[in-house]
Amino acid sequence: MGEIKKWIWQHEEYPRFSYDRLQIAPVLLKVSKNVGVLEGTIRHLDENDVTSVKVEAALNEIISTSEIEGEILRRDSVRSSVRKRLDETFDLAEDRSSRQTDALTDILIDSSYNHAPLTVERLHAWHHALFSSGYSGMNKVAPGRFRDHDDMRVVSGPIGKETVHYVALPANRIERDIDQLLEYCDHSEDDPFVKSAIAHLWFVAIHPYDDGNGRIARALTNNVLSKALGLDHKYYSISTAVNQDRKGYYDVLEKSQNLIYNRVFDFTPWILWHTSMIDRAIDISLEHIEIVISKARFWDRVRSESLNEKQLKVINKMLDKGEHGFEGGLTNKKYRAMTKVSTATAARHIKELVEKGVIHEVKGHGGRSTRYEISFS
């Protein structure tokens, strides 16, 4: 009796990832139209706003791809690392970056902006940047080297009661499969959205490293789309959308890799899900651009008002926090904490901002609990 084939790399059709072209056609058309909307929207922004959108997309991509793996990064640190690379106006005196966030930014910049052919050396460089210390938590890893063992499993659950979701292909097949994958990424004429989905799945099916395979796979997706779509890809973050449906991500990934679920070796569900995430990522970016435009209109309206240095500092911080500013709104106490002024001075500054239409009082609060929000309209 032969060995039971459970994983996709054991199937005789691997690595030919079949899918239903008719079924995915409407989704490809939808996301292509959304890319067109994004292109048109970007063309109407000035240079500073375009930079803001790029920075926000890169920031969200780095934070989200790490959150998918359970790692939480400091947002201010990542923002500093990204702005150092993408924003010429960045003041180094405000630098809050770390060696880790600088390395993660380097991976993103290389995967999204460098259109040179993919090589094993580039993959190793991305991996080394992820694990330059040689450790992932308490576990030792080999940075920048493919694994040399076959015991590579994706598991969940407590020790002794683990659930095995996937077993990767043997180590002696890694180099050959990676070479085939990189050839596909650089030279296949598949639709770019289909290609990015297959590249992602194929890489995690190989699972060539001791750790970090998901993050490298998402960097690979960025690279494929960046080459095919040019500047368009730099304005949205796929990992942000994936992170919002993390359960769906792992579920569809497992069902695509396991022949018990995927008996007919059909990857249409994975391509549909992956493409829907790209579409959602563009929607998120368009929502952010609306905020950027609102900020620009806000400054056009209040630029003629003479605001003092402390008022400008508070307003800028509120704008950085988004449409509603600080959680719970601006209060006298928060104003004092940021500006180091007295209660009376804070009250006077806030009153001036209200009178000039820069902020407005939030209804339902009063006295010491009076709160304020930005007046965008």
In this predicted model, what pLDDT tens digit does every residue of 175-208 receive, in sequence order? Answer: 999 999 999 999 999 999 999 999 999 999 999 9
Task: Supply the Cα-derived Rg of the chain in whole angstroms.
Answer: 24
Q: Mapped to the 3 state alphabet, what secondary structure does the chain carry? A: CCCCCCEHHHCCCCCCCECCHHHHHHHHHHHHHHHHHHHHHHHCCCHHHHHHHHHHHHHHHHHHHHHHCCCCCCHHHHHHHHHHHHCCCCCHHHCCCCHHHHHHHHHHHHHHHCCCCCCHHHHHHHHHHHCCCCEECCEECCCCCCCCCCCCEEEECCCCCCEEEEECCCHHHHHHHHHHHHHHHHHCCCCHHHHHHHHHHHHHHHCCCCCCHHHHHHHHHHHHHHHHHHHHHHHCCHHHHHHHCHHHHHHHHHHHHECCCCCCCECHHHHHHHHHHHHHHHHHHHHHHHHHHHHHHHHHHHCCCCCCHHHHHHHHHHHHCCCCCCCCCECHHHHHHHHCCCHHHHHHHHHHHHHCCCEEECCCCCHHHCCEEECCC
Instruction: Return the domain boundaries, the chain.
Output: 8-291, 306-374
Residue written as token pair 């095995």 = 164
pLDDT at 322 over 70: no
pLDDT at 317 over 90: no
Q: Place 235 in a pLDDT band, splitting at 50, 70 and 90.
A: very high
Over range 261-265, report the average pLDDT. Answer: 96
CA distance 138 to 144: 18
Architecture category of domain 8-291 in CATH = Orthogonal Bundle (1.10)
pLDDT at 324 over 80: no
Over range 225-237, report the average pLDDT. Answer: 86
Segment among 178-182, 226-230, 272-276, 356-360 with least mean pLDDT: 226-230
Question: Which pLDDT tens digit goes with each residue over 92-142?
Answer: 998 999 999 999 999 999 999 999 999 999 999 999 999 999 999 899 999
Segment among 20-34, 72-86, 242-256, 281-295 with least mean pLDDT: 281-295
Q: Place 245 in a pLDDT band, splitting at 50, 70 and 90.
A: very high
Over range 155-173, report the average pLDDT. Answer: 93
* pLDDT at site 219: 97
Rounded to 10 degrees, the C-alpha dihedral 350/353/357/363 comes to: -10
Average pLDDT taken over every residue of the chain: 93
Contact indicator for 277, 241 with CB cutoff of 8 Å: yes
Question: Which pLDDT tens digit goes with each residue over 34-43?
Answer: 999 999 999 9
pLDDT at 320 over 80: no
CA distance 92 to 80: 9
Q: Place 1 in a pLDDT band, splitting at 50, 70 and 90.
A: very low
* pLDDT at site 98: 97
pLDDT at 88 over 90: yes
Q: Place 160 in a pLDDT band, splitting at 50, 70 and 90.
A: confident
Q: Place 295 in a pLDDT band, splitting at 50, 70 and 90.
A: confident
For 122, phi then psi, to 5°, come to -65, -40
* Token pair recorded at residue 295: 């900020």
Q: Does domain 306-374 have CATH number 3.30.1490.20?
A: no
Residue written as token pair 């650089």 = 186
* Token pair recorded at residue 5: 């084939």
pLDDT at 333 over 60: yes
User: Long-range contacts made by residues 66-73, C-beta under 8 angstroms, separation at least 24?
Assistant: 66/104, 66/215, 67/243, 68/214, 68/215, 68/218, 68/239, 68/242, 68/243, 68/246, 68/249, 69/214, 69/215, 73/100, 73/101, 73/104
